[in-house]
Amino acid sequence: MADFTVGPGATVSQVLADSQKQILRIVRDTYLAHEQGQSVNPDSYFLRFPDKPNARVIALPAYLGGEVDTIGIKWIASFPDNVKQGLPRASATLLLNDYATGYPLACPEAAGISAARTAASAAIAAGELLASQEAVRVSFVGAGVIARTILDYLRANGITVADILVHDLDDTSAGHLMTYATEQHGVPAASGTLDDALTRDLVIFATTSAEPYVPTSTPLQPQQVLLNVSLRDLPPELLLRSNNFVDDIDHCLKAQTSPHLAEQLTGNRGFIPGTLGGILQGTAAPDPGKPTVFSPFGLGILDLAPGHHVLHEARARGAVVEIPDFIGESSRW
């Protein structure tokens, strides 16, 4: 109990690469556990900076019971200007604590865990919400690490992607995602306008936008699915013409997300019929006569559960760094 484990990023990345099916199962089970009240998931805390208005660091504390039975907190930085230097936008750590004593147990690098759980959430939602199981025409609005990882998890979740259209303000980023789709997954890919992207069966928003820019008049089609992963791309008026599902209603309706703006516009939450957990357990379903928007705010338990798996697997491989006697005093007297 006095020891502490560190999971290096390279180890975490390798375990995640080998565990996509398991991560999908873990994230699905975690949504169901949360829906059934087996978690504690308080509000996230946003640390912002006056001289860096587009940067933030977020703390996501959580407890998940069941087989995980662990406390955790993800500390994730989002610095969009990193992209200009060729650096990843996000970096993160995950601190895990023992539920019996509260003692710190481990700290795996967590940017990859965060991307994987976000992608698994998106892929699970797509699998549940897409009306047809035939080949899907997909568009990505935003072509960064999250978009790339979502593509991986769509395929891992058995979704057949017919082709991909990429829209990104940065041509280089768009080119990288198109090349990745073609070379790694054998999927035809092309770049296109935002209007083009909004016509696809499955539209995935993975940007750093701070406010809506998609036109209110966009003519979405029944049974079209929009994964509002970046949360702020869509105007509230568009949401009010759609089915809306979230990961957690209280969490998602804050911080000027698109659903939060819709709540402010209407004065109520009646436009949200349920959560992804409700869909998974069969207590909620979309109206097939409308398009559907899924807005995942991101829950700390979704980092905690995959992080628990990654740590267990990395230990089994002997690929962690053990720090003995990390706790200074092992007894009270």
pLDDT tens profile 31-45: 999 999 999 999 999
Half-sphere exposure (Cβ direction) of 42: Cα atoms closer than 13 Å: 9
Q: Give the CATH number for residue 65.
A: 3.30.1780.10
Per the domain annotation, does 333 fall within a domain?
A: no
> Which residue intervals of the chain are DSSP H helices?
9-17, 20-35, 111-129, 145-156, 171-185, 194-197, 236-239, 249-252, 258-266, 276-280, 301-316
**Residues 266-282: what's their mean pLDDT?**
96
- Confidence (pLDDT) at 84: 86
CA pair distance 126, 294, nearest whole angstrom: 9
Query: Could you tell me if 80 and 149 lie in one domain?
Result: no
Query: Could you tell me if 231 and 136 lie in one domain?
Result: yes
Query: Could you tell me if 249 and 306 lie in one domain?
Result: no
Per the domain annotation, does 193 fall within a domain?
A: yes
Query: Could you tell me if 65 and 103 lie in one domain?
Result: yes
pLDDT band at 1 (very low <50, low <70, confident <90, very high): low
Query: Could you tell me if 176 and 284 lie in one domain?
Result: yes
Position 292 pLDDT exceeds 70: yes
**Residues 44-58: what's their mean pLDDT?**
94
- Confidence (pLDDT) at 266: 97
Query: Could you tell me if 151 and 284 lie in one domain?
Result: yes
Angle 9-17/20-35 helices, nearest 10 degrees?
90
> Which residue intervals of 18-110 are DSSP H helices?
20-35
Query: Could you tell me if 15 and 82 lie in one domain?
Result: yes
- Domains in the chain, number: 2
Query: Domain containing 234: what range?
Result: 122-295
Per the domain annotation, does 38 fall within a domain?
A: yes
- Confidence (pLDDT) at 209: 93
Tell me the pLDDT tens digit for each residue of 172-191.
999 999 999 999 999 999 99
**Residues 15-28: what's their mean pLDDT?**
97
Nearest CA-CA partner of 280 in 39, 41, 36? 36
Q: Which two tokens stand for residue 228?
A: 């509002």
- Confidence (pLDDT) at 139: 98
Question: How many Å is the maximal CA-CA distance in the chain?
Answer: 70
C-beta of residue 214 within 8 angstroms of C-beta of residue 235: yes
pLDDT band at 134 (very low <50, low <70, confident <90, very high): confident
Query: Could you tell me if 192 and 267 lie in one domain?
Result: yes
**Residues 150-162: what's their mean pLDDT?**
97
3-state secondary structure of 318: coil
Helix, strand, coil percentages in the chain from 3-state DSSP, rounded to 5 = 35, 25, 40
pLDDT mean across residues, the chain? 95
CA pair distance 310, 187, nearest whole angstrom: 29
State how far the alpha carbon of 221 is from the alpha carbons of 21, 126, 200, 243, in Å. Answer: 31, 16, 9, 12
Query: Could you tell me if 40 and 171 lie in one domain?
Result: no
3-state secondary structure of 109: strand
Q: Give the CATH number for residue 161.
A: 3.40.50.720
